Every structure is written in C-alpha cells, then in structure tokens.
C-alpha cells in the first residue's frame, strides 16, 4: 500500500519544523493526521491550517510514557488505528566537553531516544496485532560519529539508528516496515541559531518531500543530501587520528564564520 489515502499518520513533534511540514505534505496526499506536540498553540495553528482535512491533535510530552500512551489512544479513537508512525519530536542543545553538563546530555537523550522508544511503544502492539504498519524514526547524519559540541545529539541519534535496526530485523517478517531517516541540516526554527549558513541547509519543504518519498518506497534507511552524507561517511572510514583532525579543522572553520 503505497498511497497515503485512508492511512492514519501519527506524527510526534508535529507543531513545528520538519514534523509540521510532514503533516502538511501527508495531509495533501490524503493521510489522516494524528498530531502530537508539547504545547497546544502550534497544534491549534496546524489544525486551522489543515481545516477540511482529517486531523486530530493531542498535547503530550514524548518523555512521559503514560501521558503519551493516553494521548495516542485518544487520537486513534478519533481517527482509527495508526498505521504510520513518524517519530520526529527532537531537540538539539550544545553539549560541550569543555563545559560538560550531564543533565543537558540526559535531556537530549530523553527526548531524542527515549521519546522515540515511547512513541514506538504507543503504536507497535496494535501494528503487531493487525500485522501491518510502518515505523519511521527521524535520526540524523550526526549519528555517523560524534562531533564537538554535539555529544548528546550525536549519541541520541546513534541510539535511534541502533533501535530501528533492531526493530526492523524482528518486525519485517510480520509485515511491519521500519525506516530510519538521516538528514543533514534542515532549515527549521530549531536550526536558526546554529552557525551553519542557511544556503547549506535543506529547505524544510524539500526535506519533507524526500522523507515522504522514502516512506512511500518503504526504504529501510535513507540519508540525504548526498554531498553531506559522503563527507560524514568519509570521516567514518578514515583512521580516527585523521578523522578527528578533519573534524577539528571543520569546527575551527565554522567558528570563524
């Protein structure tokens, strides 16, 4: 089933950024949108924007398992069982080794990794019972290796990759598809304050089209854009001494801009 018509897409982090754009794109393709976010105002704005489409919203924190289970249960009662999960809720805060704060590291991991696991737990039992469904986790090319100032983010996204690899092996034989998405920088409110020139970021509309196409094709793993993916993969293939040297040069160059 490659069409999104009559499918229910549960999207976390749907109030802003890539989650919001994915809700728009999938709604335009006929999907019913079960939108979850941390605060009500962005969800109300999304519902108003998608007036006339099939949409229901719920406020929940993905790190609060019981609350998330209740919220997703309410959404599925309104729209029907979710057969597509897009776990896109995430945060990115600086976690530098020079001023390492374990609480900041934990906060990032709780949202970006534990929150994804909680989201999966909210829909997976029903998918297994129905023997169909599609789990999509938004990871990052930052999952390929650790980068300076991004210890929490890189670790959390590497964890998402491992989680979805594990799920895919067990669930594919049951008719449940599992997709890991690894984009580079996407131009969203979360990335506005990062010192990456906007021209080097993927527009959110373009990113959403890439992601929806990967979901449609049921790809197990999809990373983009190709130029950034090649660079990060090269860092993983090189000896660590070379790779670390190149990363330090990249950081120094970025800080000069």
Residues taking part in catalysis: 153
Report the interhelical angle of 240-256 vs 226-237 (nearest 10°): 140
Residues in the chain: 257
d(CA 104, CA 167): 28
Q: Which letter does DSSP use for residue 150 in this model? A: B
Nearest to 15 by CA among 251, 190, 257: 190
Q: What is the residue-wise DSSP string for 54-121? A: -EEEEE--TT-HHHHHHHHHHHHHHH---SEEEE-------B-STT--HHHHHHHHIIIIIHHHHHHH
List residues bridging with 37 in a β-sheet.
Answer: 59
């Amino acid at each position: 089933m490659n069409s999104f018509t009559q499918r229910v897409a549960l999207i976390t982090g749907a109030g802003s950024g890539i989650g919001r754009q994915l809700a728009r794109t999938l709604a335009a393709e006929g999907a019913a949108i079960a939108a979850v976010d941390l605060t009500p105002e962005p969800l109300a704005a999304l519902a108003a924007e998608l007036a006339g489409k099939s949409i229901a919203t719920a406020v929940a924190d993905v790190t609060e398992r019981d609350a998330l289970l209740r919220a997703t249960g309410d959404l599925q009662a309104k729209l029907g069982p979710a057969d597509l999960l897009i776990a896109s809720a995430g945060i990115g805060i600086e976690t530098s080794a020079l001023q390492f704060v374990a609480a900041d590291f934990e906060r990032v991991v709780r949202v970006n990794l534990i929150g994804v696991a909680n989201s999966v737990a909210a829909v997976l039992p029903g998918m297994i019972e129905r023997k169909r469904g599609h789990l999509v986790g938004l990871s990052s090319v930052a999952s390929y290796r650790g980068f300076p100032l991004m210890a929490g983010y890189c670790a959390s996204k590497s964890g998402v990759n491992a989680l979805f690899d594990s799920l895919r092996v067990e669930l594919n034989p049951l008719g449940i598809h599992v997709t890991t998405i690894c984009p580079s920088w996407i131009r969203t409110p979360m990335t506005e304050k990062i010192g990456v020139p906007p021209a080097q970021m993927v527009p959110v509309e373009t990113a959403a089209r890439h992601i929806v196409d990967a979901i449609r094709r049921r790809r197990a793993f999809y990373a983009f854009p190709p130029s950034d993916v090649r660079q990060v993969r090269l860092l993983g293939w090189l000896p660590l001494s070379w790779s670390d040297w190149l990363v330090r040069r990249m950081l120094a160059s970025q800080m000069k801009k």
